[in-house]
Amino acid sequence: MSKAKVIDGKQIAKVVRESLKGKINTLKEKGITPGLAVVLVGEDPASQVYVGMKEKAFKKMEMVSETFRQPADISQKDLITLIHKLNADDRFHGILVQLPLPKHLDEQTILDHIDDNKDADGLLPASMGKMVLGMEGPLPCTPHGMLMLLKHSGIETSGKHAVVIGRSNIVGKPIANLLLQKRELGNCTVTLCHSRTKNLPEICKQADILVAAIGSPEFVDSSFVKEGAVILDVGVNRVDAPDRKRGYKLVGDVNYSDVEDVASAITPVPGGVGPMTITMLIYNTVYLAENTL
């Protein structure tokens, strides 16, 4: 079997962003520039990098993006007060609180104060409930981006067996639900696996579509993969690489070199699922702006 087709997230992200420009221009003609408010608490390096990438992407799309940087020791009361101000600010159609937050802050309590109509991440209870029921609403960015990767790669989902490794609220549960639904890019039979699953390789080897979202470097090898399977690798893990200038490299949850001769298509790390997450954040912000008309 030839090497797996590379699902190019960077290229597909460009295509999706290009498709949004017409909607953005239409909104601007009506006096609305889609806007996102990002709340960043503390100095977490990974969060700083990620927020910078968001700012750059929104600027390139000629949308509004403002980051509200707060000290790591901000009180829960003061942070909630800020979110209430952003809820009332018409410049912002979406609000995103960058996670993780410092340990003295209760993440769920803080997120619950975001207006449901400004849920840019698609992860608030109201949005997740609509997703589960198949109702229209903002979808979680990473899972939605994964569906776009399948769509633009011409990969059929209907009737396929999808196996998801990982049960997080951000990726595992939502992508399992979306693939299960009676909808375009759905209609899969879905198995959701996790750290307590027995005979994991044997179960994964049944998958036509295998989603790896467990946060364990190169955990999935060829013993997990059925010949011809499509693999979506959500993992982003730093591992030591003394020969690299930075001293580390990024790898996924899948051992790419071990599975590329078995799979039919695979997302690389970096450059696969990652670029789609910010793209779908842009998508959600445009969607929320349209809903204000």
Asked if 280 and 141 touch (Cβ cutoff 8 Å), the reply is yes
Asked if 82 and 75 touch (Cβ cutoff 8 Å), the reply is no
Which amino acid is located at 56 in the chain?
K
Known catalytic membership, residue 70: no
Known catalytic membership, residue 121: yes
Catalytic residue among 8, 54, 119, 205: 54
DSSP string, 162-228: EEEE---TTTHHHHHHHHHSSSTT---EEEEE-TT-SSHHHHHTT-SEEEE-S--TT-B-GGG--TT
Q: Which helix (H) or strand (E) holds 83?
A: helix 76-87
Catalytic residue among 98, 118, 119, 253: 98
Rounded CA separation 151/145 (Å): 10
Catalytic residue among 8, 119, 121, 253: 121
Known catalytic membership, residue 118: no
DSSP letter at 262 equals T
Catalytic residues, by residue number, are 54, 98, 121
